[in-house]
Structures are given as C-alpha cells and as structure tokens.
Chain A
C-alpha cells in the first residue's frame, strides 16, 4: 500500500493543533467536556458501570504530557457532570484531576476552567486547589468559550466545546466516531472540540440537533477531523453526507 505522507493538516491555526482528544496551543493544553463523576450519576439512574473514566482520561493525558512541555491547562467547561450538586465521586475525581494536572505542569503552572453549563456548582472544588473559573479565556488571537452561550469577542479564532461532535456512517449508523469540527461563524474561525469523556460517544452531527447557538446556521461547510486511530481528515460535512 502506498505510504501517505503526513501533511500540516493537524494544524488548525498557527501554533494550534490537535493532540488526540485535546488541542495544544504553544505550551497550553485545551480540553473540555470531561464530565467527571458520570459513572456515579449513572448509578443513581440504575446503571452500574466500573469507574474507569478518570483512569482513561489520565492515560491519554500522560501520553500528551510525555511528549509536549505544557505550562497551562484550560478546561473548556463541563468539568464535572451534575448540575445542582456535587457527588462524592465528583469531589474525588475532580480533585484528583487537578492534582494530576498540577503535578504535570509544575511550579508556576496554571489550571483554568472556562465555565460550562454543567459547572453550576464547581466553585467549592476549585477553591480547594486555587483554580480560577472564567466565562471566557483569551490567548493572543484565540478566545475559548464553552459554547452554550454566544460571545461578543473580536478575536478571529473561537474554540468551543459543549457540542460533543461525532460522526456516523450510512453503513454503520450505530457506531459514532468523535471528531473536531472546523468552520466559520460571523467571519471568524470556529473550532468545535469533542468531549474528553470516554463514556460519552458524542452527538451524531448528521442526525442530531445542534446544541450550541454557534452552529445555528448549520455546519455544511465545516471540515471534519476524526480522532480514532490517529487524526483523520474527512473533508467537509456536506461531502460526507454522500458517504
């Protein structure tokens, strides 16, 4: 089989590229929609699932931290799952996550949370670890917002989460593959991150309705980067509908 040479397609903008389920901008890691504590929330709903979510996420992060020097971590919303309360597992796992992140970024490192719609009662936990919660975070030309509310920024690049984008194929509609979406919104570049949660398969962009007001105009011209077995560029949504 002919060997396909790697191109610059993992770079979504200058110094901004995809690393597995997250984005890396210079020495900053941007990840979102972890929804820690999901397993315990499922238990209340009657499903008993082994608690492997945090371990899984940390395994993926280990790989990223081992090859890239990261000084700052931005969590783009929905760090934990429950809206109106803090479950026991959420206390444990969120604190463990913060401790893990700080151990990896070292002295002078920063962890910042951009508030997501699930992060209603997150402050009691973040206060214990000196983590700030903001509504949006700006880095040079990039603004990071969760995506459940619009922004009035003038920055040319917007990164959102919230949507949990995934795609499926006609041949196999029940299997969903997580992906990044890159398109435009009001003349700016819009990047939609997938969920970092291994238990959440994502919302099928071909079938389900869009949550974020940023995607109201539709996503036909958005480009799709599937993150399964590496990063796979699939072209535009409108062309993928024919697959």
Chain B
C-alpha cells in the first residue's frame, strides 16, 4: 500500500499503474471481447433468452460469487468514503453531519 500511494502521487500514468490497469482490463476481464459480445447483443447478432429457474445455474452462481470479490475497484477512495458516510448518517441522524 505504501508503494502504491507513493507511485500514485507521481502520476496516474506511472508505467506500473498502467500495466496493472491493462492487466486487469485485458487479461482478467478481457475487455475487448466483452465489448464485441455486448455490441453483438445490442445489434441482435446474438439473441438473448430469459429463462427463470428456481436455483442458479453453476455458471450464474460462479458469477455471483466472483462479483463479491471484485478485482476491479473503479470507485475512487474519496467517493467510497463519502458513500459510506452517507450510509452512516442515515442511521445516526443528520445532526451529526459535518
């Protein structure tokens, strides 16, 4: 965490940060092919069907579980704490807000 904070201050385009982002988007997420699939769904080349089942399919379950351990944290540190603070204020009352 210390190295990451230090490097972020130098530049958001620091080569190691760039490579880390590329690795997440291209290697882990495969963003290029994901875009192609979404395009194809959008223009009808790939047809989608909704099928309701009582339990998730193995494929669906895997996605749900993975979603909870999301590798990609696009939400900025400040936005996150603001969101958490809003949640807390809702519970403890607005008279404690700053």
Residues of A within 8 A of B (CB): 4-7, 9-10, 42, 47, 49-50, 52, 169, 171-172, 174-177, 198-201, 226, 228-235, 239-240, 243
B2 to chain A, nearest CB (A): 5
A235 touches B96 (CB 8 A): yes
Residues of B in contact (CB 8 Å), total: 25
B65 at the interface (CB under 8 A from A): no
B18 at the interface (CB under 8 A from A): no
- With contacts A229-B82, A234-B85 taken as known, whether A239 is within 8 angstroms of B91 at the C-beta atoms is yes
B46 at the interface (CB under 8 A from A): no
A4 touches B2 (CB 8 A): no
Q: How far is the CA of A243 from the CA of B89 in the complex (A)?
A: 12
B3 to chain A, nearest CB (A): 7
Q: How far is the CA of A171 from the CA of B69 in the complex (A)?
A: 9
B residues 64-98 with Cβ under 8 Å of A?
Answer: 73, 77-78, 80-82, 84-85, 87-89, 91-92, 94-98
Which residues of chain A have C-beta atoms less than 8 A from B95's C-beta?
Answer: 7
A203 to chain B, nearest CB (A): 12
B96 touches A228 (CB 8 A): no
Q: How many A-B residue pairs have CB under 8 A?
A: 74
**Residue of A whose beta carbon sits closest to that of B83:** A171
**Residue of A whose beta carbon sits closest to that of B84:** A169
- With contacts A172-B80, A175-B80 taken as known, whether A230 is within 8 angstroms of B98 at the C-beta atoms is yes
B88 partner, pick from A9, A200, A201, A243, beta carbons under 8 A: A243
A234 touches B88 (CB 8 A): yes
13 contacts between A and B (CB under 8 A): A4-B98, A47-B3, A49-B3, A50-B10, A52-B9, A169-B80, A171-B84, A174-B1, A177-B81, A201-B5, A230-B98, A232-B81, A235-B91
B88 touches A235 (CB 8 A): yes
- With contacts A52-B6, A174-B1, A201-B1 taken as known, whether A233 is within 8 angstroms of B96 at the C-beta atoms is yes
- With contacts A7-B95, A9-B96, A177-B81 taken as known, whether A49 is within 8 angstroms of B88 at the C-beta atoms is no
**Residue of A whose beta carbon sits closest to that of B77:** A175
B6 partner, pick from A6, A9, A199, beta carbons under 8 A: A199
**Residue of A whose beta carbon sits closest to that of B89:** A4
A239 touches B94 (CB 8 A): no
